[in-house]
Amino acid sequence: MKQLIVLGAGTGGTMVANRMSRHLPSDWSLTVVEPEGQHLYQPGLLFLPFGAHDEARDLRDRKKTLHHGVAWKRASVKLVDTDAKTVVLAGDEKLPYDLLVIATGAGIHPEETGGVLDGEWKKSIHTFYTLEGTLALRDALAAFKGGRLVVNLVEMPIKCPPAPLEFTFHADAYFRDRGIRNDVELVYVTPLDGAFTRPIASKMLGGILEEKGVHVESEFAASEVDAEARILRSYDEREVPYDLLVTIPTHMGAPYIEASGLGDELNFVPTHENSLVSKAHDDIFVIGDASNLPASKAGSVAHFESEVLVENLRRTIQGRSLAETFDGHSNCFIESGHGKALLIDFNYDTEPLPGKYPYPVIGPLSLLAETRMNHFGKLAFRFIYWNMLLPGRPLPVSNRMSMAGKYRPKDLASA
């Protein structure tokens, strides 16, 4: 019996496993290795700090997210021995593989920034990138009566690049609803030269920050935090004082990636951009946040990647050449507060542009525009995620980006 092993059962790993369970030949078996007993809907974390108490809706028992044809091994990965084609688990149990999918995502590492964990972690220093951190931040924001709230993106890449902006927009609306916005100074601190990584979107999103009275401290490479004095410092010796710091820490791939010699300096696996096969091993494929691709580390990317990756697993099993059809497609809703959101759609070569999505003229969603329809789209996505995306059911959206319905505005063309 030949073995297909999927490491990780987050968004990407679950979609690949569920799709492949319907396509594997009878002489192949499929095993997912995942230590956590529950699947977390990560987009829901952005609503919890601002008074939402529906975190149970963001969690689901792991068994309920995997098809019956998928064997789940609840364990952590210690090492991948690529010479022996074996996955070594914690406890030294070994799983041989014929094909391997790395889908273990990215995790936060606040310890990479000096001072963050020096006594004020989850007190005056918080993050919203874990469920535990989000719930602690919810309590901190509820008790916050005024002062300087600093949102700091330490470095790229991160999961869901627009999330720090979304948090800031949410914070503005939250404090306005509480009637204390005039008592709160919001500061957005980023290593980028603007609000976002692409020029047109950066100019528009930066304009929204300005309209909301958010000060932007750009090109700020955070070096350390003085937790006692409540000061954020950069490598060029700039200082940003704070009363409450919300950090988006350094992101890195899983520790076993480094132990196995499979990754770069941040433990992300070098991956071919269009076929999603490892650059070092033709029997290893990579999906989602675990790769070093120049695409967003976002659930939509994992969704679009999964269609190409599943096709290439099938082609490999059949002895056929790989399809090189992944174009870096990503789209993302960006909540802007008070029941409105934006939508961006882009890929490796094309930045987010205004227009209509998914259909030209009729939309019904608007690109790079604040609308209530986009907000409803964001809310509806949780149902789509649990009931269509994770099970691997087809969606009426192509995995390849289309220019239909998009246009390049003249007033932003030189952004």
Prediction pTM value: 0.96
List Cα–Cα distances, 13 to 34, 56, 114, 196, in angstroms. Answer: 9, 22, 33, 28
Note the Cα 328 to chain centre separation in Å.
Answer: 14
Note the Cα 243 to chain centre separation in Å.
Answer: 27
User: What is residue 198's predicted lDDT score, i.e. its pLDDT?
Assistant: 85
User: What is residue 415's predicted lDDT score, i.e. its pLDDT?
Assistant: 47
The amino acid at residue 31 is: T
The amino acid at residue 70 is: V
**What are the pLDDT digits (tens) for 303-345?**
999 999 999 999 999 999 999 999 999 999 999 999 999 999 9
3-state secondary structure 222-247: EEEEECCCCEEEECCCCEEECCEEEE
CB 13 within 8 A of CB 286: no
Question: Token pair of 114, please?
Answer: 């000096």
User: What is residue 274's predicted lDDT score, i.e. its pLDDT?
Assistant: 98
> Do you find a cis peptide bond into 157, omega within 30 degrees of 0?
yes
Fold entry, domain 109-251 = FAD/NAD(P)-binding domain (3.50.50)
| Domain 2-106+253-317 falls under CATH 3.50.50.60 | yes
User: What is residue 197's predicted lDDT score, i.e. its pLDDT?
Assistant: 85
Q: What are phi and psi of 407, to 5 degrees?
A: -150, 155
Residues of the chain with pLDDT under 50: 413-415
Question: Token pair of 347, please?
Answer: 């890929």
- Outline where 29-119 has alpha helix (H): 62-65
The 3-state DSSP class for residue 293 equals coil
CB 35 within 8 A of CB 74: yes
Where do the structural domains in the chain lie, given as residue ranges? 2-106+253-317, 109-251, 330-412
List Cα–Cα distances, 367 to 251, 269, 292, 339, 361, in angstroms. Answer: 28, 32, 27, 16, 12
**What are the pLDDT digits (tens) for 26-46?**
999 999 999 999 999 999 999
